[in-house]
Amino acid sequence: MIRRLGPGDLEQVEDLFNTPEVFESIKDDVMQVPGDIDIPGLLAHPKVYFMTYDDKGYGLFIPKNRRVYYVHVFAKKEHRDRGLVDRARKVIGYIYDNTGCEKLLGFIPIKNKPSIAFAAMVGFRQIGPFHAPGGDEMIVEHGPEDL
């Protein structure tokens, strides 16, 4: 079941972000050290969607504007299975159906080949490199037509 996480899910999100494999995937971009992100504020923000599907994989959707959202995907090692692509597509479909979002953008470190491959399986297209101070990233985009 798809659900939006809120303030009552604080412990679950803190546990997720403190899982070594998840923290490793977000440390360059979401938070530099454990605790340097305002998780309660994130979960309470009315325009930020922190989504899950059966608590097996998570998507954080942050609006850039009314029609474009940035997306970050998180999954514990035990949930990185064949069903993760399907769960991700369902959550993305929910975002398109329940917000004004018309396009998703993601930034993936060039060296993170598994995440680039996962993004492609979900339907994201590579639109170009982004030269960031911490290392080059691949910009990926997704629209409702990519489901």
Structure confidence by residue, pLDDT tens digits, 61-74: 999 999 999 999 98
Is residue 30 over pLDDT 60?
no
Is residue 144 over pLDDT 70?
yes
Higher pLDDT, 31 or 136: 136
Q: What is the pLDDT of residues 9-23, one digit of tens each?
A: 999 999 998 888 887
Higher pLDDT, 108 or 101: 101
Which two three-digit tokens encode residue 77?
A: 């090692």
- Residue 107: beta bridge partners? 139
Give 31's DSSP letter.
-
- CA 43 – CA 8 distance, rounded (Å): 9
Q: Report the SS3 class of residue 29.
A: coil
CA distance readout (Å), 71 to 101, 104, 112: 11, 6, 16
Q: What is the pLDDT of residues 77-91, one digit of tens each?
A: 899 898 999 999 999
AA identity, residue 93: G
Query: Measured at the alpha carbon of residue 67, what is the angle toward residues 90 and 124, in degrees to the nearest 5?
Result: 45
Going along the chain from its start, the domains and CATH numbers come out as 2-146 (3.40.630.30)
